[in-house]
Amino acid sequence: MKKTALIFCLMIVFVGVLAPLVHGQSLSNGTAIGIQISDKYQDGDIITTIKGGYKRSTSPYDPQIFGVVSLKPALYFKDATATKDVPVISAGEVEVRVSSQNGNIDSGDLITSSTNPGVGEKATENGYVLGQADQSYASNNPQKTGLILVTLQPHYAQLSNNILHSVYSTFTLGFSQASDSPLGVIRYVIAGVVTLLSFYFGFRFFARASNRGVEAIGRNPLAKQAILFSVLINTVVTVAIMFFGVALSYLILVL
């Protein structure tokens, strides 16, 4: 009975004294893992994946957002042998560096990456976002940064239903990602040329085949069924040409 009372008293001490101290050391509410970041960083920086590693995000609506640096995470799984690892949280609630570069932030606004390395901003366009702000941030100086709590949930956000606006946002998103490296720009250009050529040759093939089919029906009406079947085959071939071009472009972008 005395042992049970002693254990109960120790639990009360832990909850009433130690727990608030632990909470006071970290405002994050998520599990961090250790990764190596290729450039300088600070607490609250938004991190993105790159080929062979990680770095601070420098593109608005970055689709490769991985997480946020949290130097005082609530829970940290660390490899004791990896001395250069940095704690990064990918899910949960964490403090994020933000600015008013794209307007003041209200609680509930979606937060995305920006051109300022590692710093988030208010999302107002279609694109990838980091998560939702749990606190507000306002500043007349867009170069100034501050820390606010954000619930992390990286995903693509559709903030506008305007078709032209969506196409423009997609184009600018792809270009900004491609411009991160010269090879990325070249790959996007080649993929675009391949797609356009496949559609050009597909439509050209279909137009010629259709014209020949119409002429053949005029010369020989009795063979109408066979000619229409031939036109159908040509349509399938046209679709196959376009599909091959799009598939080839996709492979160029992902490899």
Domain ranges of the chain: 27-159, 182-254
User: What confidence tier does 140 reach under pLDDT thresholds 50, 70, 90?
Assistant: very high
Q: How many helices (H) and strands (E) does the chain have?
A: 5, 11
pLDDT tens digit sequence for 66-88: 999 999 888 888 887 888 899 99
Token pair in block for residue 35 = 């990764």
Task: Pick the more confident residue, 30 or 68.
Answer: 68
Please compute, for residue 58, the number of CA atoms within 13 A of its CA located in the half-sphere on the CB side.
12
Q: What is the model's pLDDT at position 213?
A: 67
CA distance 74 to 28: 6
pLDDT tens digits, one per residue of 103-127: 999 999 999 999 999 999 999 988 8
In this chain, the answer to whether the domains covering 27-159 and 182-254 adopt an identical fold is no
Is it the case that residue 148 has pLDDT exceeding 90?
yes
Q: Does the pLDDT value for residue 236 go beyond 70?
A: yes
CA distance 54 to 76: 18
> Which three-class secondary structure string do you get for 134-148?
CCCECCCCCCCCEEE
Comparing 133-142, 167-176, 181-190, the range with the smallest average pLDDT is: 167-176
The predicted pLDDT at position 13 comes to 44
> In the prediction, which pLDDT does 37 show?
93
What CATH number labels 27-159? 2.40.300.10
Is domain 182-254 annotated with CATH 3.30.200.20?
no
